[in-house]
Amino acid sequence: NVALILAIYHLNKFRYKRFYEQVFQLSFDDFLTYLKSFLVLSMEHHVLISLQTFLRDIKRLIKETSWDIDFNVEHIKIYNPSICIDFLSTLPCLEDNELTQLIEQLDELLTVSYQLNTKKQRKLAQFQSYFLFNDILNDYWVKPLSDEERLFYYPLYLWWQITAVVPLRPREFLLTQRNCLTEKDGKYYLTLRRNNLKGKDKGVSHKISEDYYLTTYEVPFKLASEIINYLELTKDLSSTQLDTLFVTDSHYRKWKRVTGTKNRFLTYSNLNTILKYFFNEVVSQQYGYFVHHINFPNKLDEHEINFIHIGDTRHIAMINLIAEGASPVTAMLLAGHDSVTTSSHYFSNLSQFIECRSYQLYRKLTNSQTSYAISKTQHKYTVNKNYVSLDNKGRCYSPRFAEGDYSDCLKVISSHAELGACTSCPFYRKAGKDYFSMDKSFKKSIDEEALIVDEAIKRVRRGKGNIEDIGEALLKLKTVSHSYQEYLTEKQLSLQEFSNGEKEVY
C-alpha cells in the first residue's frame, strides 16, 4: 500500500538517531526493516486503517519523545497501543530496561484508553475470553504432553497461574529468581520481584538489586508442585545470566536453535511469542476456536475467543482482588498503586467481571455433572413467582418466610445494625417488583460501594486517610459483589429450569 510505504519513509531519522538508536540498538535502516517486516506479517490480522494508525503512533513516539530518565508516554496521543506493544516486543533488544519501561507504559496506556474511550470499554466478551482462556489452558495442561512441548509452554502456564492472582508487571514476573520457592512447616512460599520505582522523582539505577525489592507469598501446593516440576525438568539446562526461574534453552529448541550469547533472561518478546503460538497451535488448531485479533465483538458466539495480551493479567488480578478483597494486603496494594486513573478503571469494570464470572459458573453447571454450592455460608434455593405481601407494600420471596420460618430474616443485619431489616434482605423487593428484576439495582450498589473504596484510596494517597478505611470499604464492596454473583447464578439457573418447563420464573 502506497500510504503505508510513504508513512514509513517519513519517520524522523534525526530524532531516531539521537534518542532511539542506542535504546533499540538498531540503526535507522535496520529499524525500518523490522518495521516493514512487521507490517507485512500483520496484514493477516489487522485491517489497513489499524496499521496506518499504528504507523502514525510510531512516528509520533519518535518525533515527540525525548528519551531520558523522566520518559513518559502519558501525554502523547497513542491510538493503538496494543499493536505498538506487539511490534516493540519483536525487537531483538528487549532485555533493555528502557524498552521494557516503554512497553509497560504502553500497557498502562492500553488500560487507561479502555476507560477514557467508551467505544473501547472492555466488553463482557473480553472477560469471557479470560475465563475461556483459563479453561482451555488448564484442560490442555493435564493432557499427556511431551517434555519438549510442556517446557515450551511452561512459562505461559506459570505466568497465568501467578499473575492472574498476584498483580505483577510482565518484567517483574520474568525476573523471578531461580530459587524462588521455599518450604516451611509443610507450607510453600513464593518469592517474587516487585518494581521499586514509584513516582517520577525516582531514577533508574539499572541494577536489579536496587530497582526491585523481594516479596513473599504463600502459595497452594498445586502451584508449588508445578514450579518444582519445572525446576526438575530444567535442572540440566544452562542457567540464564541473571539466574532467573525460566531458562531459555527450552524456548529456542522449538525452532531447533540454541540460545544466543546474550542469555540474560527469558524476555517479554519470548513470552509474547509463546502466547501467540498457544493461541495458534492450541486454542485455534486443537480446540477449534476462532480467535478475534481485532474489532472484538460485543458478544462471543460458541467457539469464539478474543486474543489477550501479556499485560492483561495484572488488571484481571487487581479486579479480582477488589471483588474478593477486604484484606489488609489488598488495601496496601490499592493504596500503593501508581496510577489513580488506572485504579479507577478497575472499579468501572467490576460489575462486568462479576457478570462474566457468574455466566462461566453457570455454563460449567449446565455442561457437567458436578454440583456447585453458590454460597458456603448460606443455602440458596431457586425462587419462583410466589411471594408474601408485607405491611410496607413490599414483597418477600423467601419460601421459608412464607411457611412461617423466620430463619432467613435472622440472617439479615442492616448497615444501621438493625436485625431482620426487610430492605437489606436479598429476598425483599419493592411493591410490584419481581424477584429477578434487580440487575440495575445491584449494579448501582456496586458502583456506589466502589466509589467509596476509590475515595478511600485517594484519601490515603493524599495522606488524609487510613489503610483501615480502605479495608472497611472493601468489605462492604465484597458483600454486595458476592450478593450480585449469587443473584445472577440463581437467575440463570431459574431461566434454565423455566426453559426445561420445570418452573415459571418472574
CA 137 from centroid of its chain's CA atoms:
15
Once rounded to an integer, what is the mean pLDDT over residues 202-206?
45
- In the predicted model, what is the mean pLDDT of the chain? 77
Question: How would you list the strands of the sheet with 181-184, edge to edge?
Answer: 181-184, 187-195, 212-219
Specify the length of the chain in residues.
506
Backbone phi, then psi, for 213, in 5-degree steps?
A: -120, 160
Q: In this predicted structure, what is the pLDDT of residue 70?
A: 46
Q: What percentage of the chain exceeds 90 in pLDDT?
A: 19
Q: What is the pTM of this model?
A: 0.69
SS3 state of residue 437: coil
Evaluate if residue 250 carries a pLDDT over 60.
yes
Q: In this predicted structure, what is the pLDDT of residue 260?
A: 66
- 97: Cβ contacts below 8 Å, ≥ 6 apart: 204, 206, 211
Evaluate if residue 428 carries a pLDDT over 50.
yes
Q: In this predicted structure, what is the pLDDT of residue 202?
A: 46
The stretches of 419-466 forming alpha helices (DSSP H) are 439-461
- Relative orientation angle of helices 340-348 and 312-323, to the nearest 10 degrees: 60
Q: In this predicted structure, what is the pLDDT of residue 304?
A: 92
Q: In this predicted structure, what is the pLDDT of residue 158?
A: 96
Q: Which fold has domain 122-289?
A: hpI Integrase; Chain A (1.10.443)
Pair type for strands 388-389 and 395-396:
antiparallel
How far apart (Å, rounded) are the C-alpha atoms in residues 67 and 102? 10
Backbone phi, then psi, for 261, in 5-degree steps?
A: -70, -30
User: Is residue 130 within 8 Å of 312, Cβ to Cβ?
Assistant: yes
Q: What is the pLDDT of residues 327-365, one digit of tens each?
A: 555 555 555 554 444 455 566 667 667 766 666 665 555
Scan for cell 540440566, then name that residue: 236
Residue with more model confidence, 123 or 446: 446
Q: What is the pLDDT of residues 457-480, one digit of tens each?
A: 778 777 777 777 777 777 788 778
SS3 state of residue 310: coil
Q: In this predicted structure, what is the pLDDT of residue 8?
A: 63
Q: Which residue type, as a one-letter code, is found at position 506?
A: Y
Evaluate if residue 265 carries a pLDDT over 90.
no
Query: Which helix (H) or strand (E) covers residue 219, if one does?
Result: strand 212-219
Q: In this predicted structure, what is the pLDDT of residue 136?
A: 94
Q: Dihedral sign, CA of 506, 372, 300, 438?
A: positive
Q: Residue 369's pLDDT band (boundaries 50, 70, 90)?
A: very low
Tell me which of 11-15, 117-121, 323-327, 485-489 is least confident: 117-121
SS3 state of residue 346: helix
Q: Which residue type, as a one-letter code, is found at position 143?
A: K
CB neighbour class for 2 (10 Å; exposed up to 12, middle 13-18, buried from 19) = exposed
Question: In angstroms, how far is the first alpha carbon of the chain from the final one?
Answer: 57
Taking residue 175's Cβ as centre, other Cβ atoms within 10 Å add up to 25
The per-residue b/e assignment along 341-360, b for 16 or more CB within 10 angstroms, e otherwise, is: ebbbbbbbbbbbbbbbbbbb
Domain boundaries, the chain: 2-119, 122-289, 324-385+440-506, 386-433
How far apart (Å, rounded) are the C-alpha atoms in residues 455 and 493? 36
Residue with more model confidence, 217 or 495: 217
Which of 434, 426, 440 has its CA nearest to residue 505? 434
Radius of gyration of the chain, Cα coordinates, nearest whole angstrom: 25
**Set of cell numbers at residue 470:** 480502605
SS3 content of the chain, % helix, strand, coil (to 5): 55, 5, 40
Q: In this predicted structure, what is the pLDDT of residue 280?
A: 93
How far apart (Å, rounded) are the C-alpha atoms in residues 26 and 20? 8
User: Is residue 246 within 8 Å of 240, Cβ to Cβ?
Assistant: yes
Q: What is the pLDDT of residues 131-169, one digit of tens each?
A: 889 999 999 999 999 999 999 999 999 999 998 888 888
Q: What is the pLDDT of residues 35-91, one digit of tens each?
A: 888 888 888 777 788 888 888 888 888 887 655 544 555 566 777 887 888 888 778
Backbone phi, then psi, for 74, in 5-degree steps?
A: -60, -30
